[in-house]
Amino acid sequence: MIINHPILGPRDAQEFVYLGDANLINRPDGLTASPQEMHDYVYLRTNPAGEHRELWYHEQGDRSWLVVTRNTVTHEITKVELARDVARQMGRSK
């Protein structure tokens, strides 16, 4: 698989480390979240067959986190964003 890095251009997926569902960006606040919320965040996944937004880390490159939109049935990648930009769009400071 080739991941079209927004800054570095097309890179082999082998350069990256995979983390999983991009919703992991939205970690609940550890002090205010209920145990149930924290459990759901850490352990439960939607795990869809089809379009999946997921986190990849460019370990052997510029060390950026990316949000990759990929089809889990065909492995086709349709969108690649910097995780930083995605987080900021959601109102986060970084």
Partner 1 sequence: MRYSGFRVIAEALTGHKGWKPVWRDPQPQAEYDYVIIGGGGHGLATAYYLAKEFKQARIAVLEKGYLGGGNVGRNTTIIRSNYLLDGNEPFYEFSLKLWEGLEQDFNYNAMVSQRGIMNLIHTDAQRDAFTRRGNGMILNGADAELLSRDQVRAMYPFLNFDNARFPIKGALTQKRGGTVRHDAVAWGYARGADSRGVDLIQQCEVTGLRIENGRIQGVETTRGFIGAKKVGVAVAGSSSKVMAHAGMRLPIESHVLQAFVSEGLKPLIDGVMTFGAGHFYVSQSDKGGLVFGGDIDGYNSYAQRGNLPVIEDVAEGGMALMPMIGRARLLRTWGGIMDMSMDGSPIIDKTHIEGLYFNGGWCYGGFKATPASGWCFAHLLAKDEPHKTATAYRFDRFMKGLMIDEKGQGATPNLH
Q: Rule CB under 8 A: is residue 47 a binding residue for partner 1?
A: yes
Q: Is 94 near partner 1 (CB under 8 A)?
A: no
How many residues make contact with partner 1 (CB under 8 A)?
A: 27
Q: Shortest CA distance to 7 belongs to which of 81, 89, 94? A: 81
Beta bridge partners of 71: 51
Q: Determine the interface stretch with partner 1 among 25-33, 59-67, 71-79, 82-90 (rule: CB under 8 A).
A: 71-79
Dmax (CA) of the chain: 41
Pairing between strand 17-21 and 51-57?
Answer: antiparallel
**Which residues bind to partner 1, rule: CB under 8 A?**
1, 12-14, 18-21, 35-36, 39-40, 42-49, 52, 54, 70, 72-75
